[in-house]
Amino acid sequence: MTDALTRIYVDADACPVKDEVYKVAERHHLPVTVVAGGFIRVPQHPRIERVAAGSGMDAADDWIAERIKPGDIVITADIPLASRCVKAGATAIAPNGKPFTEESIGMTLAVRNLMTDLRSTGEITGGPRAFSPRDRSTFLSALDSAIRRIARRRTDQS
């Protein structure tokens, strides 16, 4: 069991691993906040909270970034949101299991900005590869590892 101070935030719009988050959170007795621009269906469970952040540009991202704290986990494919969360001391994991770290976020953000600039000039850059069962498995492993690492860190600090 992990300290209840850890909360998992899910940037839920287009997140393919919400069900996996619920299962892992239940196993570790962690609360989950599912944040979307509008209404989104979530399981009825006392540790799962649903937030409709509003339809404004980046409303869900801003909602999460304003509340995330060290020891929390955010699940997002949004690189600028991941950057904000990492800077706040939280753990950020992409739905494919890729962790966003202090060491990698700068380069990841730079590549994202470059690709955005290329697309805006009409350059065809392709999109992300299709989400695969291997991505789902990698994500489950990454989330479980992050939870255990945070729990160990809290135990060591006590």
Q: What is the pLDDT of residues 111-129, one digit of tens each?
A: 655 666 666 777 666 666 7
Exposed/middle/buried for 38, CB within 10 Å: 0-12, 13-18, 19+?
Answer: exposed
Is the domain spanning 8-157 CATH 3.40.50? The answer is: yes
Q: How confident is the model at residue 158 (pLDDT cuts 50, 70, 90)?
A: confident
Query: CB of 80 within 8 A of CB of 62?
Result: no
Among 15, 126, 128, residue whose Cα is nearest residue 76: 15
**Tokens for 111?**
């590549």
Exposed/middle/buried for 31, CB within 10 Å: 0-12, 13-18, 19+?
Answer: middle
Cα separation, 125 vs 128, in Å, equals 10
Domain locations in the chain as residue ranges: 8-157
Reported pTM: 0.84
